[in-house]
Structure 1
């Protein structure tokens, strides 16, 4: 990995896990993962095609000009976009949305939710296998 932001998010997530802060760890790992997904989208396809596909998913979405433009796009929409341009299979897209993003959302919103360690381990394994598979 070369992206310092991604590395920092991953390391901070690991530190959170070591200290028993599972919810925070999930948030940091997801932050690294979604940044990587955004980069993959931009590496695979030209902006005009990305924006055509984006509009077909969400007609109100702002155009993507660079990686920072994704800040205005929901993570779920980004994952749908990634599947449409070939970053992920339909199965992977569904796993990322239903399991990984679902856990991230449970951990990121104020509640009494406390994820079990096995659920967090599964989350990390899925992220590694689907997003960082070629980088391990």
Structure 2
């Protein structure tokens, strides 16, 4: 089923129902769960929705109350359906066909690729893309390692942009007196990753809760990146990628 077919019975519905219907359709057919206003508008345009230029999609979403949830702000704000929203759409929209497991996996990978494509830093985006490539072919340990490399690069960039060498050195040496004096961006690579996370928290680059979750991600990376009996499954690797991308990018 194409989106234009799915929306056809809703042609006389208001803007908000059709917007929510688009979100459910893309969620079920692509595995994508978070959407920008631009992505929703593009889907409506592809479905040849009339009068779309005059639609204030952000306003319609804001008035959807408990049917949607949003994070971020401005052009980076993303929206997702709640369980209440899904139930509401299912009550007024046509039923969607059930996907085969293989199709569902392809949809999930495509959704991750769409998220990764929005990463602005080219180097971090390249590492994150490799993580998704690994996930797609079942190389789960490699996927966990590559997305962590992207995360570390992003944290280093944030520390360097938000502070100065003297403050970075002070923060590092307060936890490890032997830590290298930071003079240039590349010196951050000399800090072990636990110390890097602590410095990031001390300098306000990440908060306490984020640091806790990043430490868990580091522990998983350590398990995946060293010889041992750990065999992370597809869902664990996918969740690891999603969490880091959502948290940092």
TM over 0.5, shorter chain: yes
Decide which structure has the larger Cα Rg and report it. 2
Write the distance in 2 (CA, Å) between the matches of 1:95 and 1:3.
Answer: 22
Out of 208, 218, 224, the residue aligned to residue 90 of structure 1 is 208
Closer/same/farther in 2, CA of residues 91 and 117 from structure 1, 3 Å limit: same
- Answer yes or no: is 1:29 the counterpart of 2:147: yes
Write the distance in 2 (CA, Å) between the matches of 1:103 and 1:67.
Answer: 26
Shift of 1:4: 2.6
- Report the counterpart of residue 114 of structure 1 in structure 2: 231
Contact 1:100 1:126 in 2 (8 A): no
- Report the counterpart of residue 100 of structure 1 in structure 2: 217
TM-score, length-scaled by structure 2: 0.50
Shift of 1:53: 0.8
Moved over 6 A (4+): none
Shift of 1:2: 4.0
Contact 1:13 1:29 in 2 (8 A): yes
- Report the counterpart of residue 160 of structure 2 in structure 1: 42
Write the distance in 2 (CA, Å) between the matches of 1:65 and 1:94.
Answer: 28
Out of 113, 117, 129, the residue aligned to residue 246 of structure 2 is 129
Which protein, 1 or 2, shows the higher relative CO under an 8 Å CA cutoff with sep ≥ 6? 1
**What is the root-mean-square deviation in Å for CA atoms of aligned residues?**
1.3
Q: Across the two proteins, how many residue pairs are aligned to each other?
A: 131
TM-score, length-scaled by structure 1: 0.90
- Report the counterpart of residue 187 of structure 2 in structure 1: 69
Write the distance in 2 (CA, Å) between the matches of 1:88 and 1:129.
Answer: 13
